[in-house]
Structures are given as structure tokens and as C-alpha cells.
Structure 1
Amino acid sequence: MSFHALYEFLRDLQKNNSKEWMDKHRKRYHEVRDWYIEWLNELNEELAAIHEDYTDTPGKKAINRINNNLLYHPNKPTYKDHFGAGLDQASKQGDFYIHLGTSESFIAGGYYKPKKEILDSIRDAIDYNGDELKSILTKSSFKEMFGELMDEELLKTSPKGFSSDHKHIDLLRHKSFAVSHQVTQKQVMDDNFKTYVIKVYKEMLPFRQYLNQAVSV
């Protein structure tokens, strides 16, 4: 089994996105899923050896359901076009996310559109010591790996309780504090992909630690 087989399965699933097709190919799905879980188990062990505060997240816990939630999104297809997995999963904290899909593949982390109480905690941390976060975000290797913070939604004005001339108003206006690194299917299928994921994890770690500390205080 391989990532090539994983992508092949996803492509076939998207051409035949129905419960009937999945029922006929259930064995194939489980073979791909079980192989990927074992790969995640190996990655989980290697990440745990890097970071002493790493939260053990076995592959079976890390991997997300492939079914879309049709209760809240009835217009979505029955199944997702990707395998998603979140490692280093501490309660109420941002995980380290791997997304392998037919349309895009990426590695991400942080807090994407968090709840108000989490967003408030992050903004309080920026108000107290935004210089530390700014130094992480402007580090050359970090910028090369992730670019800028995701900025799909920004406040047009300053958030409640903060002045418009705040030193870090550019950060405070964010509604998400997350970064992403795109990878190609060719990179994923390379024999050294796990080593590459670990490199991305290390570069992202100070950013995630800053945010997680803000949320846990």
C-alpha cells in the first residue's frame, strides 16, 4: 500500500460519490485507511520524540471521518474528497493538521475561525506580548514555509476593547490564527514525505506553542 493507492482511491470515490459505490468498495477503503493509520502511528511516535510536551495522538484518533456531515450541510456530497488527520491533539488546543485530497493537499496548524473565548484569549496574549508572535511570523524560514497568516476574514475596525492605533492592530484584526503549507501529490508520494512533514512540524511549533499557551492561561 502507498500514498499512490490513497490518491487513486480518492479519485475513484469522487467519480462515484455514493453510499452504493462505497458499500461495494468497503474492503478497499479499509485497506487504504488502515495503511494510512499505520503511517500516522509512525509519524506520531517520531513527533513525540521531538517535542517533550507533545500530546500522543495515535493514527486511529488522529484520522477524521471521510463522511460529510449532511445534517448541517445537506448539499455536500456524501463523502469528502480528502483524508484529514490532526496530530498533537490536546484538549481545546490547535492541532497539527494533514490534509491529503484530490483537489489540494496541505499541512496546517493553529486556530481556524475559533470560538469567541479562544479568539479573545489569543488577542489578550497579543496585547500583552505581541512582539513575540510578530517575531515568529516574520522569521525568514517561517515566511518561506507558510507565507502569511490566513486572512479570509479580517475585521474592518479594531476589535472591541482595543484602540485602532494599537501597536499590533494588524494581528488583532484577524479572526483566524492559522497557517498552511501546500504540498503536491508528487511530494506526498515521495519516500521522504514523513521527513518533510517533520520539518514542517518543527517550523510551525513555536507558532502553535504561542497560541496554545495563550489559550491555556
Structure 2
Amino acid sequence: MDVVHRLGDGLVNFYLVDTGEGVVLVDSGLPGHWRGLLADLDRLGFAPTDVTDVLVTHAHPDHIGLAERLRVEAGARIHLHEREAGLAAAPLRPAADSRPEKSVLGYALRRPSGLRTPVHLLRLGGLRTKPVADPVVFTDGLLADVPGRPLAVHTPGHTHGSTVFVFQDHAFTGDALVTSDPMVGSVGPSLLCRAFTNDGRAALESLRALEAHDVPHVHPGHGDQWHEGLPAAVRAAVAAGVR
């Protein structure tokens, strides 16, 4: 049985999955999470070199911040969707068609406290995020050579190559489905607002591809974990719509 440990901090989540066959990270936080990751690994009885694979839900800086360092220093393989390769190669210089639908400014004017999140990302080194070199790219389907044999489900919308990883009892949704969006003050299953999403309509449609995967535990990139099943989380997020 896979054992999941939530890492990161109160605003940014990434996860260690102890599959019994090997240790996998889903996403890798920000550059400033390095010391915390080392402490967490030590507390759990692992070394950085025990992490054989990093699964990238998408290539925003708060999800790939430690990926290249783990590849170079620990020998981890970095897996990402083929449509995410361009963003992973230049996470601080996204192509025009990879930028968010709306400006943060409009949301900040309505809810200034929402700026806490982007400020937090900057404080933890978001602008120091290194490109990912030599990733292992996939499309959809079973990642048979990764411990735990997760299923990669392409969920375009938040980014072009956004992917949800489904293990036996766990779904790691990245930012395709979150349970907190401080920019708009939402709590509960939802999409991230358009200030951080490339295509809100596509993101909403992609959620429907997840409803068929009836796993009990949902682990989002932002917000608390959800233990009432992925289908229920999808229905709640669809009902909330795109803000």
C-alpha cells in the first residue's frame, strides 16, 4: 500500500509517495524548500538518493523548484507530459500561449490579501527556478517503469501539459484541482482562478476526465487533502466553476 507524506508549507504542497517499491516525489516545491525537504527525508528515514523519480504535474516554478537539483544531485528521473516540455525548459519565460488568461492585478484590487501567495512564491525563490534538463516525457497512460505504476491523466487547461497522477488509492492533482485559492478566498475543491490558469474553459472540461477514477484520496497542489473521493471533488469543482 502506498504511503503518502505531504511536504512543503501551508501554501504550496508537494508529496512523497513511499510505494514499497521505491520513493517517488510528486512535484518538488520551490528552491527555498530544499532544506525542509532534506529534513523531511531524514525524519522519514530516507536520503535524497532514495528518490528515484519526480512526477511533475505541471512546470510552474512552485512545482518544479527542486526538480533539476534532484536530477543532478540525487540522480532522480524527472517525468513530465510532452506538452509541458517547453515550459519546463523555460519556466520563467513562458511562451505567449502559455500565459494566464487574466492579470493578477484585477484580483488583487478586489482582494489584496490574495497577494500573499505570489509574494510567498517569490520569497521562496520562485525566480531562481532552474529549467529541467533531460526530462522523461510521456503522453497519457500507465507509467510502468515508475514505482507504484501510476496512471498519468492529461488535464490541459491550467497549463498545456497539466497532468494528474493516479495511484491505487491516491490522486495527485497539482493545480488541475485544488482545495484552496487564496487569490479569490475559496476553500474546497475548485479550479485555480484565471490569474494562474492558461485556459479556464479547457481546465473545467478536463475535470470530467477525472470523474471516472474512483480513488478515495485527493492530494492537491494548494490546500488541504480531500478524503471524500475524487469524483466528489470533481463535482464540487465543476459546480464552483472558473473565477
TM-score, structure 2 length as denominator?
0.23
Computing the radius of gyration from Cα coordinates, the structure with the larger value is: 1
The structure carrying a bigger strand percent of its residues is 2
TM-score, structure 1 length as denominator?
0.25
